[in-house]
Amino acid sequence: MMPRETLTIMQLKANITVGLQYQTSQELLLFTILSVVLSCTFLYLNCVLLYTLRSKPVFCETSRYILLYNLLFADTAYLLTSLLLYILAVCRLKLKLYVCGFLTSICVLEDIISPLTLAVMSMERYVAVCFPLRHADLVTVRNTGAVIAVVWIISGLHVLIQALTIVILRQQFDFDEEMKDFCSKEAMFLAPTSSQVDKAFSGSVFTLGGLVTILSYVGVTLAARSALTDKASASKAGKTVLLHMIQLVLILISTVYSSILTAFLTTVDRRTLVRLYNIIFVCLNLFPRCLSALIYGLRDQTIRPALLKNLFCLHLRCFVSNKTMAI
Protein backbone atom coordinates (compact mmCIF):
# COMPACT_ATOMS: atom_id res chain seq x y z
CA MET A 1 0.00 0.00 0.00
CA MET A 2 1.35 3.42 -0.98
CA PRO A 3 1.96 6.08 1.70
CA ARG A 4 -0.50 8.94 1.85
CA GLU A 5 2.12 11.51 0.74
CA THR A 6 2.90 9.47 -2.39
CA LEU A 7 -0.78 9.15 -3.27
CA THR A 8 -1.25 12.90 -2.76
CA ILE A 9 1.60 13.74 -5.15
CA MET A 10 0.25 11.29 -7.73
CA GLN A 11 -3.22 12.85 -7.42
CA LEU A 12 -1.71 16.33 -7.75
CA LYS A 13 0.16 15.41 -10.93
CA ALA A 14 -2.94 13.70 -12.34
CA ASN A 15 -5.04 16.79 -11.67
CA ILE A 16 -2.48 19.05 -13.35
CA THR A 17 -2.24 16.73 -16.36
CA VAL A 18 -6.02 16.56 -16.73
CA GLY A 19 -6.25 20.28 -16.10
CA LEU A 20 -3.96 20.89 -19.05
CA GLN A 21 -6.45 19.04 -21.21
CA TYR A 22 -9.35 21.23 -20.01
CA GLN A 23 -7.43 24.47 -20.30
CA THR A 24 -8.38 26.51 -23.34
CA SER A 25 -5.79 26.69 -26.09
CA GLN A 26 -5.69 30.51 -25.84
CA GLU A 27 -5.06 30.46 -22.09
CA LEU A 28 -2.44 27.73 -22.40
CA LEU A 29 -0.74 29.63 -25.21
CA LEU A 30 -0.75 32.86 -23.18
CA PHE A 31 0.83 31.23 -20.11
CA THR A 32 3.38 29.41 -22.25
CA ILE A 33 4.39 32.52 -24.19
CA LEU A 34 4.70 34.53 -20.96
CA SER A 35 6.87 31.87 -19.33
CA VAL A 36 9.03 31.29 -22.41
CA VAL A 37 9.53 35.01 -23.12
CA LEU A 38 10.47 35.77 -19.52
CA SER A 39 12.78 32.76 -19.36
CA CYS A 40 14.50 33.60 -22.64
CA THR A 41 14.87 37.26 -21.63
CA PHE A 42 16.62 36.41 -18.39
CA LEU A 43 18.59 33.61 -20.00
CA TYR A 44 19.88 36.17 -22.49
CA LEU A 45 20.69 38.65 -19.71
CA ASN A 46 22.44 35.93 -17.69
CA CYS A 47 24.47 34.81 -20.70
CA VAL A 48 25.57 38.39 -21.46
CA LEU A 49 26.52 38.88 -17.81
CA LEU A 50 28.46 35.58 -17.86
CA TYR A 51 30.28 36.82 -20.95
CA THR A 52 30.91 40.17 -19.25
CA LEU A 53 32.44 38.46 -16.21
CA ARG A 54 35.01 36.85 -18.50
CA SER A 55 35.70 39.95 -20.59
CA LYS A 56 37.99 41.80 -18.16
CA PRO A 57 40.86 40.63 -15.92
CA VAL A 58 39.38 42.44 -12.89
CA PHE A 59 36.35 40.14 -12.99
CA CYS A 60 38.51 37.00 -13.29
CA GLU A 61 40.83 38.04 -10.47
CA THR A 62 38.29 39.23 -7.88
CA SER A 63 36.72 36.66 -5.58
CA ARG A 64 33.23 38.21 -5.41
CA TYR A 65 32.95 38.19 -9.21
CA ILE A 66 34.24 34.61 -9.41
CA LEU A 67 31.53 33.60 -6.93
CA LEU A 68 28.97 35.58 -8.93
CA TYR A 69 30.02 33.74 -12.10
CA ASN A 70 29.50 30.40 -10.34
CA LEU A 71 26.07 31.50 -9.09
CA LEU A 72 25.02 32.79 -12.51
CA PHE A 73 26.23 29.61 -14.22
CA ALA A 74 24.15 27.48 -11.82
CA ASP A 75 21.08 29.72 -12.17
CA THR A 76 21.36 29.73 -15.98
CA ALA A 77 21.62 25.93 -16.13
CA TYR A 78 18.64 25.64 -13.77
CA LEU A 79 16.59 28.12 -15.82
CA LEU A 80 17.35 26.31 -19.06
CA THR A 81 16.49 22.87 -17.67
CA SER A 82 13.33 24.10 -15.92
CA LEU A 83 12.15 25.80 -19.09
CA LEU A 84 12.74 22.62 -21.09
CA LEU A 85 10.79 20.52 -18.56
CA TYR A 86 7.97 23.11 -18.55
CA ILE A 87 7.68 23.07 -22.35
CA LEU A 88 7.68 19.27 -22.37
CA ALA A 89 4.88 19.26 -19.76
CA VAL A 90 2.81 21.80 -21.71
CA CYS A 91 3.26 19.82 -24.93
CA ARG A 92 2.42 16.61 -23.01
CA LEU A 93 5.58 14.92 -24.23
CA LYS A 94 6.69 11.90 -22.22
CA LEU A 95 10.36 11.03 -21.86
CA LYS A 96 12.29 7.88 -21.23
CA LEU A 97 12.92 7.34 -17.54
CA TYR A 98 16.70 7.73 -17.85
CA VAL A 99 16.35 10.99 -19.84
CA CYS A 100 14.04 12.44 -17.19
CA GLY A 101 16.48 11.28 -14.52
CA PHE A 102 19.34 13.12 -16.24
CA LEU A 103 17.36 16.38 -16.58
CA THR A 104 16.05 16.33 -13.00
CA SER A 105 19.57 15.56 -11.74
CA ILE A 106 20.76 18.83 -13.31
CA CYS A 107 17.94 20.68 -11.54
CA VAL A 108 18.79 19.05 -8.20
CA LEU A 109 22.50 19.80 -8.66
CA GLU A 110 22.00 23.47 -9.48
CA ASP A 111 19.26 23.81 -6.88
CA ILE A 112 21.79 23.04 -4.13
CA ILE A 113 24.65 25.04 -5.65
CA SER A 114 22.70 28.33 -5.64
CA PRO A 115 21.91 28.58 -1.89
CA LEU A 116 25.40 27.41 -0.91
CA THR A 117 27.00 30.01 -3.21
CA LEU A 118 24.68 32.73 -1.87
CA ALA A 119 25.79 31.86 1.66
CA VAL A 120 29.47 32.07 0.66
CA MET A 121 28.88 35.41 -1.11
CA SER A 122 27.19 36.79 2.01
CA MET A 123 30.12 35.64 4.12
CA GLU A 124 32.54 37.31 1.70
CA ARG A 125 30.70 40.62 2.12
CA TYR A 126 30.84 40.17 5.89
CA VAL A 127 34.61 39.66 5.82
CA ALA A 128 35.06 42.63 3.45
CA VAL A 129 33.20 44.98 5.81
CA CYS A 130 34.12 43.64 9.25
CA PHE A 131 37.71 42.55 8.53
CA PRO A 132 38.88 44.81 5.70
CA LEU A 133 42.57 44.45 6.59
CA ARG A 134 42.43 40.66 6.45
CA HIS A 135 40.08 40.43 3.46
CA ALA A 136 42.88 40.27 0.89
CA ASP A 137 44.58 37.44 2.81
CA LEU A 138 41.45 35.40 3.55
CA VAL A 139 39.45 35.88 0.34
CA THR A 140 41.98 34.95 -2.35
CA VAL A 141 41.34 33.53 -5.80
CA ARG A 142 42.80 30.21 -4.68
CA ASN A 143 40.58 30.01 -1.59
CA THR A 144 37.56 31.01 -3.64
CA GLY A 145 38.27 28.24 -6.13
CA ALA A 146 38.57 25.75 -3.27
CA VAL A 147 35.24 26.86 -1.78
CA ILE A 148 33.51 26.59 -5.16
CA ALA A 149 34.96 23.08 -5.57
CA VAL A 150 33.56 22.12 -2.15
CA VAL A 151 30.14 23.51 -3.12
CA TRP A 152 30.10 21.42 -6.32
CA ILE A 153 31.30 18.30 -4.47
CA ILE A 154 28.53 18.63 -1.86
CA SER A 155 25.91 19.11 -4.60
CA GLY A 156 27.34 16.23 -6.63
CA LEU A 157 27.25 13.90 -3.62
CA HIS A 158 23.59 14.76 -3.09
CA VAL A 159 22.80 13.91 -6.72
CA LEU A 160 24.82 10.68 -6.46
CA ILE A 161 23.00 9.61 -3.28
CA GLN A 162 19.64 10.35 -4.89
CA ALA A 163 20.61 8.43 -8.03
CA LEU A 164 21.69 5.39 -6.00
CA THR A 165 18.50 5.57 -3.94
CA ILE A 166 16.33 5.68 -7.06
CA VAL A 167 18.25 2.83 -8.71
CA ILE A 168 17.87 0.65 -5.60
CA LEU A 169 14.18 1.44 -5.17
CA ARG A 170 13.39 1.06 -8.88
CA GLN A 171 15.14 -2.26 -9.48
CA GLN A 172 11.92 -3.72 -10.73
CA PHE A 173 11.51 -0.94 -13.30
CA ASP A 174 13.04 -0.65 -16.75
CA PHE A 175 14.87 2.69 -17.02
CA ASP A 176 14.43 2.52 -20.79
CA GLU A 177 10.66 2.57 -20.48
CA GLU A 178 8.56 5.64 -21.22
CA MET A 179 7.22 7.64 -18.29
CA LYS A 180 3.49 7.59 -17.66
CA ASP A 181 3.37 11.28 -16.81
CA PHE A 182 5.36 14.44 -17.61
CA CYS A 183 8.91 14.64 -16.32
CA SER A 184 9.53 16.36 -12.98
CA LYS A 185 11.54 15.94 -9.81
CA GLU A 186 8.42 14.70 -8.02
CA ALA A 187 7.99 11.95 -10.62
CA MET A 188 11.54 10.71 -10.03
CA PHE A 189 11.32 11.05 -6.22
CA LEU A 190 7.92 9.38 -5.98
CA ALA A 191 9.19 6.77 -3.51
CA PRO A 192 8.95 8.06 0.10
CA THR A 193 12.60 7.23 0.88
CA SER A 194 14.06 9.27 -2.00
CA SER A 195 11.65 12.13 -1.29
CA GLN A 196 12.62 12.16 2.39
CA VAL A 197 16.34 12.10 1.55
CA ASP A 198 15.85 15.08 -0.79
CA LYS A 199 13.86 17.04 1.78
CA ALA A 200 16.32 16.30 4.59
CA PHE A 201 19.34 17.33 2.54
CA SER A 202 17.66 20.42 1.08
CA GLY A 203 16.44 21.43 4.54
CA SER A 204 19.96 21.11 5.97
CA VAL A 205 21.46 23.16 3.13
CA PHE A 206 18.89 25.95 3.41
CA THR A 207 19.16 26.01 7.20
CA LEU A 208 22.94 26.34 6.99
CA GLY A 209 22.72 28.92 4.18
CA GLY A 210 20.04 30.87 6.03
CA LEU A 211 22.02 30.99 9.29
CA VAL A 212 25.20 32.12 7.50
CA THR A 213 23.30 34.80 5.56
CA ILE A 214 21.44 36.08 8.64
CA LEU A 215 24.61 36.21 10.74
CA SER A 216 26.42 37.99 7.90
CA TYR A 217 23.60 40.54 7.63
CA VAL A 218 23.62 41.15 11.39
CA GLY A 219 27.41 41.53 11.40
CA VAL A 220 27.40 43.96 8.47
CA THR A 221 24.52 45.96 10.01
CA LEU A 222 26.35 46.29 13.32
CA ALA A 223 29.53 47.26 11.48
CA ALA A 224 27.62 49.98 9.61
CA ARG A 225 26.85 51.64 12.95
CA SER A 226 30.48 51.62 13.99
CA ALA A 227 32.52 54.79 13.65
CA LEU A 228 35.51 52.78 12.43
CA THR A 229 33.75 51.47 9.33
CA ASP A 230 33.02 53.09 5.97
CA LYS A 231 29.29 53.60 6.44
CA ALA A 232 28.50 53.86 2.72
CA SER A 233 30.33 50.63 1.90
CA ALA A 234 28.83 48.80 4.88
CA SER A 235 25.32 50.01 4.03
CA LYS A 236 25.66 48.83 0.43
CA ALA A 237 27.03 45.46 1.58
CA GLY A 238 24.13 45.13 4.03
CA LYS A 239 21.59 45.72 1.25
CA THR A 240 23.34 43.15 -0.95
CA VAL A 241 23.26 40.53 1.83
CA LEU A 242 19.59 41.33 2.47
CA LEU A 243 18.81 40.76 -1.21
CA HIS A 244 20.69 37.46 -1.00
CA MET A 245 18.50 36.53 1.96
CA ILE A 246 15.33 37.31 -0.01
CA GLN A 247 16.66 35.30 -2.94
CA LEU A 248 17.45 32.39 -0.63
CA VAL A 249 13.91 32.44 0.81
CA LEU A 250 12.36 32.46 -2.68
CA ILE A 251 14.54 29.53 -3.77
CA LEU A 252 13.53 27.66 -0.60
CA ILE A 253 9.86 28.22 -1.36
CA SER A 254 10.39 27.03 -4.95
CA THR A 255 11.72 23.69 -3.66
CA VAL A 256 8.44 22.98 -1.85
CA TYR A 257 6.03 24.18 -4.53
CA SER A 258 4.44 20.71 -4.66
CA SER A 259 3.42 21.12 -1.03
CA ILE A 260 1.97 24.54 -1.86
CA LEU A 261 -0.08 23.08 -4.70
CA THR A 262 -1.13 20.12 -2.55
CA ALA A 263 -2.61 22.58 -0.04
CA PHE A 264 -4.99 23.82 -2.78
CA LEU A 265 -5.71 20.32 -4.08
CA THR A 266 -9.08 19.88 -2.37
CA THR A 267 -10.22 23.50 -2.51
CA VAL A 268 -9.85 24.48 -6.18
CA ASP A 269 -10.79 22.91 -9.50
CA ARG A 270 -8.30 21.45 -11.95
CA ARG A 271 -8.15 24.47 -14.22
CA THR A 272 -7.40 26.78 -11.28
CA LEU A 273 -4.74 24.32 -10.12
CA VAL A 274 -3.02 24.59 -13.51
CA ARG A 275 -3.16 28.38 -13.32
CA LEU A 276 -1.51 28.20 -9.89
CA TYR A 277 1.10 25.83 -11.31
CA ASN A 278 1.95 28.35 -14.05
CA ILE A 279 2.05 31.31 -11.66
CA ILE A 280 4.28 29.44 -9.21
CA PHE A 281 6.57 28.43 -12.06
CA VAL A 282 7.06 32.06 -13.12
CA CYS A 283 7.24 33.63 -9.65
CA LEU A 284 9.17 30.97 -7.74
CA ASN A 285 11.14 29.05 -10.37
CA LEU A 286 12.10 31.87 -12.73
CA PHE A 287 12.23 35.03 -10.64
CA PRO A 288 14.71 33.89 -7.91
CA ARG A 289 17.15 32.72 -10.60
CA CYS A 290 17.03 36.13 -12.26
CA LEU A 291 17.73 38.23 -9.17
CA SER A 292 21.51 37.73 -9.38
CA ALA A 293 21.70 39.46 -12.74
CA LEU A 294 19.51 42.31 -11.48
CA ILE A 295 21.30 42.70 -8.13
CA TYR A 296 24.79 42.85 -9.60
CA GLY A 297 24.07 43.91 -13.16
CA LEU A 298 22.25 47.06 -12.10
CA ARG A 299 23.76 47.86 -8.66
CA ASP A 300 27.45 47.07 -9.11
CA GLN A 301 29.29 50.13 -10.41
CA THR A 302 32.05 48.00 -11.96
CA ILE A 303 29.79 45.54 -13.78
CA ARG A 304 27.04 47.88 -14.93
CA PRO A 305 29.02 49.89 -17.58
CA ALA A 306 30.55 46.70 -19.05
CA LEU A 307 27.18 44.92 -19.03
CA LEU A 308 25.35 47.78 -20.75
CA LYS A 309 28.14 48.04 -23.30
CA ASN A 310 27.95 44.33 -24.12
CA LEU A 311 24.16 44.41 -24.30
CA PHE A 312 24.27 47.38 -26.68
CA CYS A 313 27.06 45.91 -28.80
CA LEU A 314 25.31 42.55 -29.14
CA HIS A 315 22.08 44.26 -30.20
CA LEU A 316 24.01 46.42 -32.67
CA ARG A 317 25.83 43.41 -34.13
CA CYS A 318 22.54 41.55 -34.49
CA PHE A 319 20.93 44.57 -36.20
CA VAL A 320 23.86 45.01 -38.60
CA SER A 321 23.89 41.29 -39.36
CA ASN A 322 20.17 41.33 -40.19
CA LYS A 323 20.60 44.36 -42.43
CA THR A 324 23.49 42.68 -44.25
CA MET A 325 21.47 39.52 -44.82
CA ALA A 326 18.53 41.56 -46.10
CA ILE A 327 20.77 43.34 -48.61
Tens digits of residue pLDDT in 11-57: 445 544 544 444 556 666 777 787 788 888 888 888 888 988 888 88
pLDDT at position 143: 92
Residue 73's pLDDT band (cuts 50, 70, 90): very high
The domain made up of 4-326 has a fold known as: Rhopdopsin 7-helix transmembrane proteins (1.20.1070)
pLDDT at 6 over 50: no
pLDDT at position 186: 66
DSSP designation for 282: I
Alpha-carbon separation of residue 286 from 136, 258, 289 (angstroms): 35, 16, 6
C-alpha to C-alpha distance for 255 and 209, rounded to whole angstroms: 14
pLDDT at position 69: 92
Name which of 216, 200, 211, 120 is nearest 162 in CA terms.
200
3-state secondary structure labels for all residues of 287-301:
HHHHHHHHHHHHHCC
C-beta of residue 90 within 8 angstroms of C-beta of residue 74: no
Name the pTM for this structure: 0.81
Alpha-carbon separation of residue 294 from 125, 244, 289, 291 (angstroms): 18, 12, 10, 5
Q: Where are the domains of the chain?
A: 4-326
pLDDT at position 229: 62
Handedness of CA 117, 118, 124, 130 (dihedral sign): negative
Tens digits of residue pLDDT in 212-241: 888 888 888 887 777 556 667 777 778 888
pLDDT at position 326: 47
Average pLDDT of span 295-311: 80
Tens digits of residue pLDDT in 181-202: 777 776 666 556 666 777 778 7
Q: Please give the span between the terminal C-alpha atoms of the chain, in angstroms, as a whole number.
A: 68
